[in-house]
Amino acid sequence: MRDRPVSGCRDLAFGDGYAVDDSGEVALEDYAREVTRARDVEAVRREGDPGLVTGLHLCGLDAEPALPLRVDIEDFARDLAMRSGGGGLGWS
């Protein structure tokens, strides 16, 4: 996805990086896909420190997600990072 962006792809950069494990990454991507109605979502990890998620790459959107939605998604990432181990299955 990120290596072949197409029309309708958007990047959502977080203000900080969050330590989210693999299961938390799946939960974050699923959550963002659900609330934005994006076709595909891919977590973006910090170059040089892949333990930190620094944003998301979303595809299949007509426009940028509204600011409150962007804040909500980053809040979800922050919440995942605060949980033991950075995991987060069962968010729904």
Q: Which pLDDT score, from 0 to 100, does residue 91 have?
A: 45
Q: Which two tokens stand for residue 65?
A: 């997600």
Distance between CA atoms of 64 and 52, rounded to whole angstroms? Answer: 23
pLDDT at 88 over 70: no
> pLDDT tens-digit profile of 6-50?
678 999 999 999 999 999 999 999 999 999 999 999 999 999 888
In total, the chain counts a number of residues equal to: 92
Domain boundaries, the chain: 10-86
- pLDDT over threshold 80, residue 61: yes
Q: Where would I find the H helices in 2-89?
A: 22-36, 67-82
Res 49: pLDDT? 87
What is the spatial distance between Cα 33 and Cα 16, in angstroms, rounded to a whole number? 20
| Residue 92 confidence (pLDDT) | 44
